[in-house]
Amino acid sequence: MIRIIYRWQVAPSNFKQFRQAWRDTTNSIHESVPGARGSFMLKSPADESEVLTIAKWDSLESWQKFWGDADPVEMKGLSALGKRISVEVFEEVEDHTR
């Protein structure tokens, strides 16, 4: 398993729309793209414009197949509402969340 951490800058005035677009996007990807396991969102209490979305994938290969040229069509709605600052890949070592 891997986790992909997307760091976003989202204007507070766009956050509600961004959140809905992220919800729709992550659910669609999870349902239609092999290897996608879903995602969760975090928002910084110190900086209302800082948002992290953290996706879970079966493997680096399945994510790379989806990610392709680094701007998948499925992510366009999010990019229209927020600026993607970075994308980082981490191997999941242990997960004790419930």
pLDDT tens digits for 25-61?
Answer: 999 999 999 999 999 999 999 999 999 999 999 999 9
Q: Identity (one letter) of the amino acid at 98?
A: R
Instruction: Please report the pLDDT score of residue 68 as a whole number.
Output: 84
pTM for this prediction: 0.91
In a domain, 97, yes or no: no
- pLDDT above 90 coverage of the chain, percent: 87
Query: Tell me, what's the pLDDT at 35?
Result: 96
Domain assignment of residue 25, given as a range: 2-91
Q: Which of residues 73 and 14 earns the better pLDDT score?
A: 14
Q: Does residue 96 lie within any of the structural domains?
A: no
Number of structural domains the chain divides into: 1
SS3 call for 34: coil
Residue 38: left (phi > 0), alpha (psi -120 to 50), or beta? left
In this prediction, residues 54-82 reach a mean pLDDT of 90
Which CATH number is 68's domain given?
A: 3.30.70.100
